[in-house]
Every structure is written in structure tokens, then in C-alpha cells.
Structure 1
Amino acid sequence: MSIYDYTVTTESGDTYSMSKYRGHPLIIVNTATKCGFAPQFEQLEQLYEQHKDDGLIVLGFPSDQFHQELDDSAKAAEACRMTYGVSFPMHAICEVNGANALPLFDYLKAQAKGTLGDNIKWNFTKFLVTADGEVVKRYAPKTNPLKMDLSLILK
């Protein structure tokens, strides 16, 4: 299996294959609009704007697993756009841990095993993925996105 074998759903309910992003470095992050770390949306958007010409894609996956998200995917995405200026792709609300976790997040956690434990502890856990689909780094929720080492995924 690779990251490109998974399907995900956009905030509007459209499903697509992650293979859409083959050849692009990725930052994948579980988000929550009512979380104290929500200002990280601004830094993630800054990175996206700064490096999108290099192919970088930021993918936001809202989760209410920690009870800090709106109950509607489209409303959550709209809040990100209106409050933080987010223009990167947002997805349907999902779980990131447990039996109902989005399979993509099970894969990300397995590939980054040992770096921060088996489960995602909180919102704004960030994963760096190379253009070849290799998960190379997992960052804790408290890590400011501007402090991430993007040289691991950008050429």
C-alpha cells in the first residue's frame, strides 16, 4: 500500500483518490475550527501560498474526535476560509483514531510510527509526505507550521 491507494472525501462530499497528488509534496493535517491551535490555519495557508509553485499541497482534514469542530463539513471549511483565509483543500469531517478512523490516517500513523506514539493526541498533528508518497515526518499539534523542516519534502 502507498498513500496513493487511499480515497478521501472533500467537504462537499466528492470522493477522490490520493493518487491525484502523485508528484506533489504534501502537508496533511487534522484540523478543528474551535481548537486553540486553529490560528495555525494562517501559518499553513502561508506555507501553501509560499510553496505552491513548488508543487506543495496542504490538505486539511477536520475532525471532531476531540470535540472542537463544527458538525458540518461544509460549514467547517467555510469557517476556515472566512476566519483564516484558507484556500488549500479541506475535506469531510473524519475520525483520526480508533475503529472508525479514516484509513488514510491509519496509514499515516503507521508510517510515522514511533515519532509521537501510535494515536493522534490532538488537533493539528501534521504529516510531511514527499512527492514520491513517503511519509517522512510527523509534527506535534503544538509545533508551529512555520517551524517544520520543509526541506524534507521540497526540492
Structure 2
Amino acid sequence: MLRAVIVILSLALAAPAYAIESIGGFSFRSIDGGTIDSADWQGSPVLVANTASLCAYTPQYDGLQALYDTYRARGLLVLAVPSDDFAQELGDEAAVKEFCAVNFDLDLPMTEITPVRGREAHPFYAWLRETEGFVPNWNFNKVLIGPDGTVIDTYGSGVDPMSPRIRTRIEALLSQ
């Protein structure tokens, strides 16, 4: 009997606290203050990228901004999620914001520094892990979310945001 109680308690404690049915249930803290709510994404494709300021892939900020500039009028959202999970992010949000403004002139939405892996992963990334088996294995991994909130595709660090592989998928989503 005690063993059954322990198993039940273990399962209850292991149950995800992010049990969210759809993409509409997540919010991020914005680097500019306030929140970024995934419910606002409904009806628009979204490219989410975990980023870091001190990574060899950091020049991809230019591609993320170019993608946003190219397609935002047609409804594309691009979200940068700075993370220090790979020990390559600056010390605080103010430093990240200044770095991105000075070096990349970013005006795309950004979150606060956010965990994307492991037990501390943001609920959006925990949801991706559970539903898609996707866990960022480095900085600048990307996730394309369709207008209906489904995961369309995931991309590794080596895939440039302006690559035909990503742009073709986005253009198809924007044409629907």
C-alpha cells in the first residue's frame, strides 16, 4: 500500500505544471517590460529563436531582423528568446538589449533572459520537448509555429533565418 502511494505521489509530482492544450497558453516576460502572450500569435506564423549575445551564431540576429522586416507587414512574428543555457549570454537584460540595439539595430520582440532546456525550461520550451521532442541543442535553434498554433518545423543553429528552407515555409504559411 505504501509503495502504491509513493508511486502515485511520484507521478503527481512529475506531472508537468505547464499542461497547456494549445500554443495560446504561454507568456514570456518582454525585455522591454510587460509580457509577450502567445495567444496574440493566433492567426500568424511565428519564428521563435533561442539566442545568445556571445555565440558564434550571434550574427544571425541580422537574419532574424531581415526576416522580420521582410514579412512583418504580411503577418510574420519573430521572437528572440535570449538564454544563458549555454553560458554565452550577457549578465542581464539591460546589457542584452543594449548589445542588440547597438550591434544589430533590432526592433523585433525579445524576451528576458529565459531558460530553454532542462528542469527550469520556460513552459513553451517544456511544451516543445513534450509534444515535439524538440530541445535546443545550442543557441539560435529556431521553431516555426503555424497560424493555427501547430509546430511546422524546427531548425538547428546552422540554418540561417533568411535561408530558402525557412523562407519557403513562411511564404507558404502567409499565402494560406
TM-score of the two chains, using structure 1 as the length reference:
0.90
Q: Which runs of 4+ in 1 moved over 4 A?
A: none
Aligned partner of 2:110 among 72, 86, 90: 90
1:153 is paired with a residue whose SS is helix
The residue that corresponds to 1:135 in the other structure is: 151
- Rounded Cα–Cα distance in structure 2 between residues aligned with 1:16 and 1:120: 20
Identity over aligned pairs, percent:
32
**Deviations for 1:47-79, whole angstroms, at most 9, x for unmatched residues?**
100000110010000000101001112321221
Unaligned runs of 5+ in 1: none
Further displaced range: 103-112 or 133-142: 103-112
The alpha-carbon deviation at position 46 of structure 1 amounts to 0.5
Written as runs of structure 1 = structure 2, the 5 A alignment for 1:1-155 is: 1-113=21-133, 118-147=134-163, 148=166, 149-155=169-175
Q: Structure 1's 121 and 152: CA in aligned 2 closer, same or farther, altered over 3 A?
A: farther
Query: Who wins on radius of gyration, i.e. which is larger?
Result: 2
Normalised by the length of structure 2, the TM-score is 0.80
Letter in 2 for 1:134: T
Measure the CA separation in 2 of the matches of 1:19 and 1:102: 16
**Coordinate RMSD, CA, aligned:** 1.5
How far does residue 153 in structure 1 lie from its aligned partner after superposition?
3.0
What's the secondary structure of 1:136's corresponding residue? Answer: strand
Structure 2: distance between partners of 1:153 and 1:86: 24
Q: Which runs of 5+ in 2 are unaligned?
A: 1-20
Deviation per CA, 1:115-136: give whole Å up to 9, x if none.
Answer: xxx4311000000011111111
Residue 36 of structure 2 contacts residue 111 of structure 2 at CA under 8 Å; is this kept in 1?
no
Q: Residues 81 and 112 of structure 2 are in contact (CA less than 8 Å); yes or no, is this contact kept in structure 1?
A: yes
Q: Is the 8 A contact 1:63 1:94 kept in 2?
A: yes
Instruction: Give the match's secondary structure for 2:162.
Output: helix
Q: Which has the higher helix share?
A: 2
